[in-house]
């Protein structure tokens, strides 16, 4: 026996069997074009998602496909000092750390007067004017620099002789040993400089000064300079 008719919105009739359950029609399958577009977007965006591996606070952090961040596993004892304007993360993707305490000096001879100390056997070359003495490691009374910490140091000097036809030899002496020397002996000029420079590995307490190994500075050595600084600690 045929059951009653139900009127649909479209105006068509649908025959229902007595007692038959009603089920909603299944959703239509997605259009093939939409499915293909979703897969394409996923494939394009996958390589752009950076992956990072952080092991702990003292080990390197590797950003795959991006950069390498190098961490300081042995920080300097002077890290509590005022940070350098160059310290901290850089735009290149690695960390730049301050090298430690600031040590630098530069001294100059302001007159041609020869001090009485030059007449002794030490023949240490003295400087009477301090331009820079960061760390207070240069003693103007003795003309000597004392390393405040172990590290690599840079030194340079220019000793000028004026109206002196004698050849002079100037040595940079560390702990009594002449490391380097420079000469000035041109007799056709009235002013000439003996100049040289060096990098030295020094322990804390090592001492450096300039010594006149040959000749005299009786004509004066105004504008002569002696400079040095800590390149990096060890």
Taking the chain, what is the end-to-end CA distance rounded to the nearest angstrom? 103
My answer on whether 109 and 208 are in the same domain is yes
27-41, 87-101, 205-219: which has the minimum mean pLDDT?
87-101
Query: Cα separation of 77 and 100, whole Å?
Result: 8
Residue 10 lies in a domain: no
Percent of the chain with pLDDT over 90: 35
Per-residue pLDDT, 30: 59
Q: How is residue 182 annotated by DSSP?
A: E
Per-residue pLDDT, 56: 46
My answer on whether 111 and 163 are in the same domain is yes
180 backbone dihedrals φ, ψ, rounded to 5°: -135, 160
Tens of pLDDT, residue by residue over 46-61, are 555 554 444 444 445 4
Mean of all residue pLDDT scores within the chain: 72
Mean pLDDT calculated for residue range 54-72: 49
Assign 28 a pLDDT band (cuts: 50, 70, 90).
low
Domain count, the chain: 2
Per-residue pLDDT, 122: 66
My answer on whether 194 and 143 are in the same domain is yes
CATH assignment of the domain containing 198 = 2.60.120.40
Number of H-type helices and E-type strands within the chain: 1, 17
Give the angle subtended at the CA of 64 by the CAs of 70 and 37, to the nearest 5°.
155
For residue 147, the enclosing domain spans 104-233
Assign 25 a pLDDT band (cuts: 50, 70, 90).
low
Residue 168 lies in a domain: yes
Mean pLDDT calculated for residue range 58-79: 49
161, HSE (Cβ side, Cα atoms, 13 Å): 25
Asked whether residue 64 carries a pLDDT value surpassing 80, the answer given is no
Statement: the pTM of the whole predicted model exceeds 0.85: no
**Burial letters for 138-149: b for 16+ Cβ neighbours within 10 Å, e otherwise?**
beeeebbbbbbb
Asked whether residue 102 carries a pLDDT value surpassing 60, the answer given is yes
């Amino acid at each position: 026996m045929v059951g009653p008719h139900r009127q649909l919105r479209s105006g068509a009739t649908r025959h229902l069997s007595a007692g038959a359950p009603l089920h909603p029609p299944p959703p239509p399958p997605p259009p093939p074009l939409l499915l293909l577009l979703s897969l394409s977007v996923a494939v394009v965006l996958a390589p752009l998602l950076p992956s990072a591996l952080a092991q702990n606070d003292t080990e390197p952090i590797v950003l795959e496909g991006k950069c390498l961040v190098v961490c300081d596993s042995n920080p300097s004892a002077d890290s509590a000092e005022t940070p350098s304007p160059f310290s901290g993360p850089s735009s290149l993707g690695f960390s730049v750390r301050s090298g430690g305490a600031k040590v630098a000096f530069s001294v100059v001879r302001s007159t041609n007067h020869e001090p009485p100390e030059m007449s002794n056997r030490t023949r240490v070359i003295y400087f009477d004017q301090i331009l820079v003495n960061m760390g207070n490691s240069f003693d103007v009374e003795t003309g000597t620099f004392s390393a405040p910490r172990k590290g690599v140091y840079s030194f340079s000097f220019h000793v000028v002789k004026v109206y002196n036809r004698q050849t002079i030899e100037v040595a940079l002496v560390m702990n009594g040993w002449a490391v380097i020397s420079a000469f000035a002996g041109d007799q056709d000029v009235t002013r000439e400089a003996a100049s040289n420079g060096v990098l030295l590995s020094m322990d804390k307490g090592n001492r450096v000064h300039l010594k006149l190994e040959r000749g005299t500075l009786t004509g004066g050595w105004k504008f002569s300079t002696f400079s040095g600084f800590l390149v990096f600690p060890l």
